Chain A
Amino acid sequence: MATFPTLIPNDISFDYGVSNISEVSTFAGPVRFHHSKRINGHTLRLNYRGLSQTQTEELRTHYINSDGILRRFNLPTALWGGLSVVAADAEYRYTAPPQEEHKGLYYNVSITLKILDGTVSFYILNGNGAELPAQTVFTVGVFNGTAPFVLDCGNADPTVTLLLEAGGAKL
């Protein structure tokens, strides 16, 4: 899997992918069923203007080495121009052959890619660096012990400790 050439495009355009849902149309609007937490299938278009022949051949060679739309590859994060859309190790595939315009000395190239693994929409709660405050006696309703209550994740990686502080809760 060859990484895409590190050639910064003049402009890019893309969508945000699609969520893995299926839906049924009803008179009261669509009823949607969620199949996974992934958002993928983004379309990314890279537009290059004023490339040299050597640079154009780099792009052409990468398309050939990817066996056209068959193989997947990584994209240098610099091509996103600082935007945060997908993970840095996301995998891409060509959806169509690159379009080349030969203008004599310079070349314009347009490339269309599809992002295969996208993002996974879940939160990671990282308690690292949190300090355990002093414990105090606590008796409210069925809770009888010391506060704050500590939920120890043990050998979880990364190791975190989730604190559930009951405060002044009352039934």
Chain B
Amino acid sequence: MATFPALSPQSRTYISGSTPVTPINVLTGDEFAVRHTNASVGHILRLGYRGLTTEQHAELVNHYNFHGRFQPFNIPATVLTGSNLAFPANYQWIYAASPQTSYSPGVIETTIELQLVPPYTI
């Protein structure tokens, strides 16, 4: 498991996760909620890179080739610089989808979407 490349993205989108909950309506009109797990799921982080060098792009390709969606990994602090984001302990990231790259002469743009997953034992 290799840490994600320490490349600062030009754009970043974060969607906060939540705890799996089933709301139940009762006859009084009130609504109760049942929580199914202590896990917090659904955290999504989208990173936009523009103007990568071919070496930097190769870092991203190699990291995805060795992890795919299967192997979780950590991300370095440089990816989250200025966000002040904090995540539950021992959670790691997987790729939510295959990264997308567009390459026009001299300009490489790559979009990466990551998903935070809890450890198998909580």
Contacts and interface: CB of A to CB of B under 8 A. Distances in A.
Q: Do A and B come from one complex?
A: yes
Interface of A: 10-19, 21, 23, 27-32, 34, 39, 42, 81-85, 119, 121
Interface residues of B, number: 31
B70 interface: yes
A83 B66 CA distance: 17
For B54, B68, B97, B122, the residue with the greatest tally of chain A CB atoms inside 10 Å of its CB is B68
What does DSSP make chain A's interface, helix, strand, loop or mixed?
strand
B102 A11 contact: yes
For B70, B118, B122, the residue with the greatest tally of chain A CB atoms inside 10 Å of its CB is B70
Contacts of B94: 32
A27 B37 contact: yes
A29 B70 contact: no
Given A29-B41, A32-B69, A10 B54 contact: no
B39 interface: yes
Interface stretch (B24-32, B57-65, B75-83): B57-65
A32 B61 CA distance: 21
What does DSSP make chain B's interface, helix, strand, loop or mixed?
mixed
A13 B100 contact: yes
Nearest to B19: A27
Contacts of B36: 27
A85 B100 CA distance: 12
Contact of A121 (B57, B68, B99, B118): B68
Contact of B100 (A15, A18, A27): A15
A10 B104 contact: yes
B10 interface: no
A23 B68 CA distance: 13
Nearest to B52: A83
A12 B66 contact: no
B103 A12 contact: yes
B39 A28 contact: yes
A39 B68 CA distance: 7
A13 B65 contact: no
